[in-house]
Structure 1
């Protein structure tokens, strides 16, 4: 298993935040920290974009050439597209923990923010409609001419007040990067229960005849106000939901506010988060991190397995093949949704595949040295998978670098080096157009409990009475492995450390 770093350091001027995102620039070996609520004091003026230099192990402030100003938001949906040197963030909350001098309750936005890593510039575009959204997920797939962004889940507030609505999981939003146009498509199949603060990762068949988005966990709404321990797959372009795990009934180990980190398209590391149901742990040495083998490409044909560092091929699993046709290598024959397309542009997009010109680093990148190969050890039988405090998850290039960098709700850091970051002028950032009020959520509170009182209509929830549910084991500031949390899946082999500079 790749090493998780919990001993980095930072200058005190670099903020500690919750609910933000790390955008990875695989070519220049930099993580950009966008958004998030300040967890240690009020937010500082001029929400600057910090970048963590993996090679030099230091933080730097960016200096934007764009006159666009973008506000800091938290708990939206973000994704980086390193092939295009672009990063996106959709929705999220504005509050007095993100904006200096903010008064009143938090607000959510309906905009999608784009950051150009190569030009260090910003743009702020509209979402699919004027409805504010937060706490869903967004992934990238290389369909259409320049790629598509796929968004679903979370919460909305269509009334512009403090009433929020759980988003239906059969409603899928598609953003075409080339045209900057939004579309909506209805999915069918075994649709997951409505949820938020879950995670998802995307991979695809070798011939790109199917794109498969794996969803894990999340926080529920009434009557399930705790969390989920399950895996669903949304396969495109058929837009069919498939329940992949569990296959047998049982209590499981609910898990939310976490990250899904897809490695080489073949495996997905589940890292961090909150576990409201248990305090036991079966793998404290790796902070309860676990691996989902997306194609069951292992000797046991198992979904949950130890991590294989050399696995770089995704095989479409039999459960997907049974729905879309073809084989493990591709050849899907089902190329349209059961209910038909919502827009005639969409089938055209899915007949095209995005191609990208190889990027050249804009800085000196030292030659990587080979990292030690971890020795795989058998995992325990899938009965109680552990989940303990862990740290950041992010993949850079073909080699994994899980870097503990900031105290994001799912990407956390406690200790940094003493060397000061190079100071540059901050990027100019300012207002989105907010639309609705949501209750303040304090991720530092050990008593956070999610509770959405159900309205007589059975579907709407008052934000003013929100009481958001983290267990006392919320993973915000881990210092070292500790034996808390359990889960029904096998633990990973203990990691073999390697230096961050060995990322390729």
Structure 2
């Protein structure tokens, strides 16, 4: 079936309101994500080849007289079932002349499976010479059972999807992992054809096996390394992180140009000592006074060693703990600093929301606050576009869903990262980014090291070793990962897959529990494998929780509100959701958290 594309050239808010009042759809038709847009959050997004793509997410619709929970209401919320496209090739003002369209999703032609409409998922742009966009992970959300656009059932075996950019053909891939996580932190080393997914969780929206322990949420161990050239993956241990606990709702940011292969910086997130039966208001938030740094160059030569994590203390204007924020990265023209921007978010434990911008500058690890306002939001994504502009996408403007429409009525906003000003105009031909005066003042006179020195041996060598970053097309992943053939795509969901050639040097490393498989770990760890069934084994030493079996679909409670993992970007010809960079740097990905009532 050919996909349907709904295009709108927005001339003014008045014309949009006229369109809404003139064309009211039938109550149970799929909700039009453009015409009836009210607010959007916990979606995923990516920028590639001059186009912003928005996938999935929860959405409040300005949908007059909609039926919700047995009552008629003017606003209702459901899911964005379209792949949305915003043109970034030419300049626009989102208040007057922004051009965007909605592409109807069509089934995978090989399997007949409908593409997912998830929340808390992530997107990867893939190598420059790859025409595909990739969607990974996510969970189902049914806030309005009456709406026609609720999620369908999906096999856990194929958590990675792709679609041809500018096209409509969806495909699926078997990563040989028996789960589909959500709410983890994601990043992409675009110049190396690699993507990373840190921790995350499973819940009844991803796996009904959790119902056996009372509608529980289970935090996950490990970091998934995804080869986007061959569509394969391996899970590596994260026990090398200092004071480690599995986390959700934080950010993982890729910073290129340092060390041999760049680093990943893990910021914030929510942890829970019990790591199961967790809720949005249990556990605690990680402080921004320290961050974790993963050296990609330590992993690639010897994947069986899981790579090296470092912990580093930060100083300066340290942000308050939060989840639901987004991040981007941009490097100084002379590569002297790499600056991670952190925008907004919320504290799900206290229901406090933020409207602010902070910058973490490396290698000094100093925080600088560059903006504070009075219009907080969370559950959004962001990217660097037009060389120096921060493009924010969506976000929830209240602590609970369905409480009103976003004043950014086209779901985007623009921030000039040099002038430090907000506006509605996107400039496709903007000048290159320059270190803003406020940031220069903070960094002036500082040496290339943290104020209190380096916390761990080895990190200084990595952070002070700079290299020329290249955005050249990737045709193969690093040599040490071998020349394995591409993993098979899904032919029939649930059918037996033929033999797959595994990565030579990357043997699968299972997620483990606290006090699990490795004796030296003194905390429980949760491992996903085997059949779709939760089993509890007990002895005098330990308690292990395992999720086993074939994936079964389950829905989240109507009372739940969604969340999403934001994405990655590049300030070159391409960009990624949640984090991004300019020439000489890359992106990472933000993650978002949603409270459960």
TM-score by length of structure 2 reads 0.57
The CA deviation at 1:100 is 5.4
> Residues of 2 paired with 1:121 and 1:467: CA distance?
30
Map 1:434-453 onto structure 2 (within 5 A): 435=525, 445=558, 448=561
Q: Which of residues 126, 138, 143 is equivalent to 2:252?
A: 138
Residues of 2 paired with 1:281 and 1:133: CA distance? 29
Pick the aligned partner of 1:10 from 94, 106, 111: 106
| Equivalent pair of 2:116/2:152 in contact (CA under 8 Å) | no
For the structure 1 residues 81 and 47, does the alpha-carbon distance in structure 2 shift closer, same or farther, using more than 3 Å as the test? same
Return the alpha-carbon distance in structure 2 between the equivalents of residues 273 and 33 of structure 1: 19
- Aligned partner of 1:196 in structure 2 is 323
CA contact (8 A) 2:386 2:427 kept: no
Mapped contact 2:391–2:412 kept (Cα < 8 A): yes
Q: Which residues in structure 2 correspond to 1:79-94 (within 5 Å)?
A: 79-94=187-202
For the residue of structure 1 that corresponds to 2:167, the secondary structure is coil
* Residue equivalent to 1:58: 169
1:23 to 124, 143, 161: 124
Contact 1:237 1:336 in 2 (8 A): yes
Paired residue for 1:309? 428
SS of 2:459 mapped into structure 1: helix
Secondary structure, aligned partner of 1:37:
coil
For 1:432, the equivalent position in structure 2 comes to: 511
Q: What is the aligned partner in structure 1 of residue 139 from structure 2?
A: 37
**Alpha carbons 2:342, 2:359 under 8 Å: kept:** yes
Trace 1:255-266 onto structure 2 (pairs within 5 A): 255-263=377-385, 265-266=387-388
Distance 1:63 1:447 in 2: 30
Provide, for residues 62-93 of structure 1, a one-character-per-residue CA deviation record: whole Å limited to 9, x for no partner.
355xxx52521100110122210010110111
When structure 1 is superposed on structure 2, of 427-436 and 264-273 the one drifting more is 427-436
Do the aligned partners of residues 58 and 75 (structure 1) sit closer, same or farther apart at CA in structure 2, a change above 3 Å counting? same
Cα distance change of structure 1 residues 423 and 158 upon mapping to structure 2, 3 Å threshold: closer
Quick one: distance in 2 between partners of 1:446 and 1:100? 17
| Distance change in 2, residues 1:442/1:190 (3 Å) | farther
Q: Give the C-alpha shift of residue 359 in structure 1.
A: 4.8
Deviations, residues 265-324 of structure 1 (Å, cap 9, x unaligned): 52211102211077355553xx2310121122xxxx635452111225111111110011
1:206-257 deviation line (CA, Å, top 9, x unaligned)? 111111111111121454x1311111111111111111112xxx6x122001
Deviation at 1:343, TM superposition (A): 1.1
The runs of at least 4 consecutive aligned structure 1 residues that moved more than 6 Å come to 425-431, 441-444
Deviation at 1:58, TM superposition (A): 1.6
Say which is worse superposed, 253-262 or 213-222, in terms of deviation. Answer: 213-222
Partner residue of 1:351 out of 464, 476, 487: 464
The CA deviation at 1:188 is: 1.0
Gap runs ≥5 in structure 1: 326-331, 364-421, 451-465, 471-504
Matching of residue 267 in structure 1 with residue 386 in structure 2: no
Please give the secondary structure, in 2, of the residue aligned with 1:230.
strand
**Alignment correspondent of 1:341:** 454
Question: What does the per-residue CA deviation read over 1:484-503, in whole Å, with 9 as the maximum and x for residues that have no partner?
Answer: xxxxxxxxxxxxxxxxxxxx
Q: 1:56 to 1:138 in 2, by over 3 A?
A: same
2:352 and 2:317 map into 1 onto residues whose CA distance is: 21
Determine if contact 2:156/2:180 at 8 Å carries over to the other structure: no
Q: How does 1:85-124 map to 2 (within 5 A)?
A: 85-99=193-207, 101-103=209-211, 104=213, 105-124=216-235
SS at match of 1:348: helix
- Alignment match, 2:360: 234
Q: Which has the higher contact order (CA 8 A, sep 6+)?
A: 1
Are residue 126 (structure 1) and residue 225 (structure 2) matched?
A: no
Partner of 2:50: none
Cα distance in 2 for residues equivalent to 1:271 and 1:430: 35
Aligned residues: 374
Cα distance between partner residues in 2 of 1:231 and 1:150: 18
Would the aligned equivalents of 1:146 and 1:355 in 2 still touch at CA under 8 Å?
no
- The CA distance in 2 between the partners of 1:98 and 1:86, in whole Å, is 24
Distance in 2 (alpha carbons) for counterparts of 1:304 and 1:214:
18
Q: What is the CA-CA distance between 1:9 and the residue it aligns to?
A: 2.4
Name the SS for the 2:157 alignment partner: coil
Deviation at 1:167, TM superposition (A): 0.6
Q: What does 1:62-77 correspond to in 2, within 5 Å?
A: 62=173, 68-69=176-177, 71-77=179-185
**Cα gap change, 1:443/1:75 in structure 2, threshold over 3 Å: closer, same or farther?**
farther
The 1:423/1:73 distance shift into structure 2, 3 A limit, reads: closer
CA contact (8 A) 2:118 2:139 kept: yes
CA RMSD, Structure 1 to Structure 2 (Å): 3.2
Shift of residue 353 of structure 1? 2.4
1:205 aligns with one of 332, 335, 340? 332
Q: Within 5 A, what are the aligned runs for 1:144-223? A: 144-160=259-275, 162=278, 163-179=282-298, 180-223=307-350
User: Residues 366-425 of structure 1, C-alpha deviation per residue, up to 9 Å, x if partnerless?
Assistant: xxxxxxxxxxxxxxxxxxxxxxxxxxxxxxxxxxxxxxxxxxxxxxxxxxxxxxxx9647
Alpha-carbon distance between aligned partners in 2 of 1:124 and 1:281, rounded to the nearest angstrom: 38
**Contact in 2 for aligned 1:194/1:221 (Cα 8 Å):** no
Map of 2:37 onto structure 1: none
1:8–1:77: structure 2 CA closer, same or farther, 3 Å change rule?
same
Which secondary structure state, in structure 2, belongs to the residue aligned with residue 13 of structure 1? coil
Structure 2: runs of 5 or more not aligned: 1-86, 89-98, 108-112, 142-150, 299-306, 477-488, 501-507, 514-524, 527-544, 546-553, 564-592
Higher strand share: 2
On the 8 A contact 1:62/1:424 being kept in 2, the answer is: no
Please report how far the alpha carbon of residue 260 of structure 1 lies from its aligned counterpart in structure 2 after TM superposition.
1.2
Cα gap change, 1:8 to 1:271, in 2 (>3 Å): same
Displacement of 1:157 in angstroms is: 2.1
Alignment deviations for residues 111-145 of structure 1 (CA, whole Å, 9 cap, x no partner): 11110112322111122255111100111111111
Distance 2:555 2:492 in 1: 30
